[in-house]
Amino acid sequence: MKQILIYLSGSTDEMIKEQYEQCMELVAQRHGGTLREDDKARHLRKLKQQPSVLSTVGDEYRLCLVADRKDIDRREESAGEVMSKGLKGADEMIVGDAEPYLLQPDHVAEYLRKVDEITIAAKRITFTRGASIEHIHRIMAAIKERKTTHDDDEILVDSWSGGRPPIACRVEDGQLVKDGNYHDIRETLHRVVFDNLSKSEAARRIGCTRKTVGNTINRRHELFDIPQQ
């Protein structure tokens, strides 16, 4: 059975809950299976009392949830110690958010020796085993630089004069910004690049042509943090 390690970090109930919901949404999209609302509430309640929770979702997968609560003085094992143990049996790791103190490029490279892939849920960015340290550094640097409009839309290009915007993007006041489906589409494109998904299947999921998928990967790679082969 596949085991997924989920690492949450925060100093309030609200921060942990937000990251938890982002991670569980991602897990459901990728692997199917759903948890009842009372199960989710139980997870969050237990993660305030203890650093980790184990949970099996049907026959699909097993979750190892770890919460590093900055506002709670743990007398037993720390979240970091529990996470180290959880890594030993994990196939996949999902991090709620990538605060600078939590996840550095070298950490990602080290974790990828133990798991097949690591995803930063808040950014919907996935690193797979075999990724070069240069690629990891480049992507991590890119996600730390976030500029937004007055309406909190994330800006991709300050001044856009390239005509029709690419998929998952729109133009606001002359600036190219991320559309609501940007992170889902970026993840789909990344899976094409890493040979996990065909262009035809990606086109079906996105709702565009196979040619558009290819052109986006080859000509708009910088907008979607796509590594060049």
For the chain, what is the domain count? 2
Where the chain has pLDDT below 50, the residues are 101
Q: The domain containing residue 209 runs over which residues?
A: 146-223
pLDDT at 35: 84
pLDDT at 145: 62
pLDDT at 9: 86
Question: What is the reported pTM?
Answer: 0.65
122 in the same domain as 219: no
Do 181 and 170 form a contact (C-beta atoms < 8 A)? no
Of 108, 142, 176, which residue constitutes the final position of a domain? Answer: 142
For residue 145 the two structure tokens come to 């630089």
Sign of the Cα torsion 79, 85, 89, 91 reads positive
pLDDT at 144: 63
125 assigned to some structural domain: yes
161 in the same domain as 137: no
The Cα 9–Cα 46 span in angstroms is 15
The Cα 169–Cα 56 span in angstroms is 37
Amino acid at 121: A
Of 142, 159, 177, which residue constitutes the final position of a domain? Answer: 142
pLDDT at 98: 64
175 in the same domain as 111: no
Nearest-10 crossing angle of helices 210-219, 182-193:
90
pLDDT at 214: 94
What confidence tens digit (pLDDT) does each residue in 182-216 have?
Answer: 988 988 998 898 777 999 999 999 999 999 999 99
**222 φ, ψ to 5°?**
-70, -25
